[in-house]
Structure 1
Amino acid sequence: MAAARLTLDMEEALRVAYERSDMSLEQFAEGLGVTPNRAIVILNSDGNIKMSTAAKALAVLGCTIELVVTDRDGNPVPSTTNRRNPR
């Protein structure tokens, strides 16, 4: 359930970022290195978009991603500085 929510939140953020941008579909597609038809599929994804694709698309739109993880009580869980050696 958490993975599905994360994906849906990412897709919504992508759609909103595109709608707020002044970028044409052709410019967006070119930035992604895909055809305009593929760019439409990315923007209209139905829960099946890769996080790496969404992150690249957001970067093309000039956005950054900030992920906040909280525990069950709503307290932020700090990220680790050494991502190559998780516990």
Structure 2
Amino acid sequence: MQATIHDREALKAISPVALAAYARSAGWQRGETYRLHSDIYAGRNRPEIIVPRTDHLGDYATVVSRLIEVFAQMADRDELTIYRSLVMGE
């Protein structure tokens, strides 16, 4: 079963630090800076992703939702499992 998280407050509960840590642990490496508040991550056989360094962005919840979707696809796991890992800092 695949579920997508739409609750903006739940998505905002995930910190930029948790997103960056998860990306690194899943094989992405931080590359160059993207604009003022984000970094580009790339990895072998992985799509480039843009990870925010702050949660003070108007579209932060949307960005987090998209990152969870990408992380889930690459790990062949469901989005709720990825969400729990990010919230719990695993």
TM-score, scaled to structure 2: 0.38
Bigger Rg, structure 1 or 2: 1
| Higher percent of residues as strand | 2
TM-score, scaled to structure 1: 0.39
Of structures 1 and 2, the one with the larger relative CO (CA 8 A, separation 6+) is 2
| Higher percent of residues as helix | 1
